[in-house]
């Protein structure tokens, strides 16, 4: 897309956009207010509508494409580099993950709450009438953001995800649509809210994550769709288990179990093995935080049994990360809490050796492996494992959650005068805009 924009091949730009979102020419025309024939002529180069910069910007706004994405049109380069001076040796590189919500990443957290409240929604354009094409477009964007999260982590994806969530909420409030389209809008917007909550969680902002999950839950209730509600409850269970771990409060673990049990009840008629495996994993984590080792082991075994049933057409895209490696990761987390770090080391080692594991998850589990090694007393190896991922944290993997797992290793590195680890950890910490892990509820 950047290459097409840089070469002023705006017809190709439109074709790429349609291919990425799975829309027909008619669908895209409905979204941007043009006829199907006009979209066709733009793609074939028979009409130069988008060569008027005002029309190009209007087109981008209608699709909620950040205007900064259009920068290659002006610069004539797909890299989007702004040369400040040919002699200064300095340059600014356009990065699509920055300033997507009108602010840069460092100031984004302070602006997030405003964007997802009513006062921040007036800046977002919405159609007078929404139809099935708008729903498909939102769903395609949601799926794309989910894939980016697996690669990059919450920090890089959060700004644009929140903007898309806010736009979907504005459509629900301000646009006209049929009852069926309204129902679909509620479901996709709830899923967007759940994704945003997860991204905030991964970015270390627990208060914002909690607020977003509640918003997503209200939307899911409005849609009266079991699958959508299950998605929200399982994410809330994950966060509550984490808060139980960092706070030591049994009440948070009980809350996690209530959320997971509620998801289990709502999913009782669902046929997806991955979904039921994930429910068992969230229940297992809650039980271990309550000190119930027998229930933890039982649920881990049941999760494996569910996964062994194989794939199913009803497996949702957001459950695809549930694999044998993910079960090993949960089991390892449980044994860490139960005081058996040596068992965790073996399990975490198996997870990080799985080439199918996403970059974000592999980095997270390698950080957990580092902490487990430290608990086993192998401080040197713990530092080496942490060093293997620190160069990427805050750069290629923007997961504050992962960095937080390395904090005990940072303390050990300082005691051992392992300067390289300390310097790289501190550099990564400065690159994140999210609050410290103490941002708890």
Tens-place pLDDT, residues 280-338: 999 999 999 999 999 999 999 999 999 999 989 999 989 999 999 999 999 999 999 99
Query: 139-175, pLDDT tens digit by residue?
Result: 999 998 999 999 999 888 998 899 899 999 999 999 9
Q: Record the tokens describing residue 59, joined without a space.
A: 């087109």
Query: 253-285, pLDDT tens digit by residue?
Result: 999 999 999 999 999 999 999 999 999 999 999
Closest residue by Cα to residue 325 from 275, 281, 276: 281
Average pLDDT over residues 239-261: 96
pLDDT at 79: 63
Average pLDDT over residues 354-367: 94
Dihedral of CA 103/203/246/229: which sign?
A: positive
Give strand pairing partners of 81: 93
Distance of alpha carbon 300 from alpha carbon 411, whole angstroms: 32
Closest residue by Cα to residue 435 from 95, 202, 115: 202
pLDDT at 66: 77
User: CB neighbours (10 Å) of residue 265?
Assistant: 12
Query: 363-384, pLDDT tens digit by residue?
Result: 999 999 999 999 999 999 999 9
pLDDT at 81: 44
pTM for this entry:
0.82
User: Which residues have a Cβ under 8 Å from the Cβ of 438 and sit 6 or more positions away?
Assistant: none
Give strand pairing partners of 393: 397
Rg of the Cα atoms in the chain: 23
Residue 121, pLDDT > 70, answer no
Q: What share of the chain is helix, strand, coil (3-state, %, to 5)?
A: 70, 0, 25
Three-class secondary structure of residue 81 per DSSP: strand
pLDDT at 243: 96
Closest residue by Cα to residue 216 from 236, 240, 191, 238: 191
User: Which residues have a Cβ under 8 Å from the Cβ of 104 and sit 6 or more positions away?
Assistant: 98
Distance of alpha carbon 204 from alpha carbon 40, whole angstroms: 45
């Amino acid at each position: 897309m950047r290459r097409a924009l840089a070469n002023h091949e705006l017809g190709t730009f439109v074709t790429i956009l349609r291919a990425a979102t799975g829309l027909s020419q008619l669908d895209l025309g409905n979204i941007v207010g043009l006829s199907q024939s006009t979209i066709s002529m733009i793609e074939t180069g028979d009409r130069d509508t988008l060569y008027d910069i005002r029309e190009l910007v209007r087109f981008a706004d209608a699709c909620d494409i950040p205007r900064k994405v259009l920068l290659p049109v002006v610069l004539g380069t797909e890299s989007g580099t702004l040369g400040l001076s040919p002699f200064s040796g300095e340059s600014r590189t356009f990065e699509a993950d920055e300033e997507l919500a009108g602010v840069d990443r460092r100031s984004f957290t302070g602006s997030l709450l405003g964007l997802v409240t009513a006062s921040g929604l007036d800046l977002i354009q919405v159609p007078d009438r929404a139809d099935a094409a708008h729903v498909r477009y939102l769903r395609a964007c949601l799926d794309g953001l989910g894939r980016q999260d697996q690669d990059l982590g919450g920090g890089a994806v959060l700004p644009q995800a929140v903007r898309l969530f806010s736009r979907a909420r504005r459509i629900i409030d301000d646009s006209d649509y049929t009852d069926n389209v309204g129902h679909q809008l509620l479901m996709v917007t709830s899923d967007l809210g759940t994704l945003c909550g997860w991204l905030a969680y991964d970015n270390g902002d627990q208060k914002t994550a909690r607020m977003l999950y509640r918003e997503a839950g209200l939307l899911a209730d409005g849609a009266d769709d079991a699958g959508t509600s299950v998605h929200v409850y399982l994410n809330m269970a994950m966060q509550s288990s984490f808060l139980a771990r960092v706070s030591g409060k049994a009440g948070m673990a009980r809350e996690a179990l209530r959320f997971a049990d509620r998801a289990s009840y709502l999913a009782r008629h669902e046929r997806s093995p991955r979904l039921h495996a994930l429910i068992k994993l969230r229940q297992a984590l809650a039980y271990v935080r309550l000190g119930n080792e027998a229930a933890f082991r039982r649920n881990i075994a049941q999760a494996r049994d569910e996964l062994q049933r194989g794939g199913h057409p009803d497996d949702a895209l957001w459950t695809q990360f549930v694999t044998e490696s993910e079960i090993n990761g949960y089991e390892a987390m449980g044994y860490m809490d139960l005081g058996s770090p040596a068992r965790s080391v073996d399990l975490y080692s198996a997870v990080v050796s799985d080439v199918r594991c996403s970059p974000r998850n592999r980095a997270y589990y390698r950080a957990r492996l580092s902490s487990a090694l430290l608990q086993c007393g192998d401080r040197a190896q713990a530092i080496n494992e942490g060093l293997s991922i620190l160069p990427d944290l805050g750069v290629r993997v923007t997961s504050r959650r992962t960095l937080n797992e390395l904090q005990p290793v940072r303390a050990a590195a300082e005691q051992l005068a392992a300067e390289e680890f300390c310097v790289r950890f501190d550099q990564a910490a400065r690159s994140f805009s999210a609050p410290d892990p103490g941002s708890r509820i």
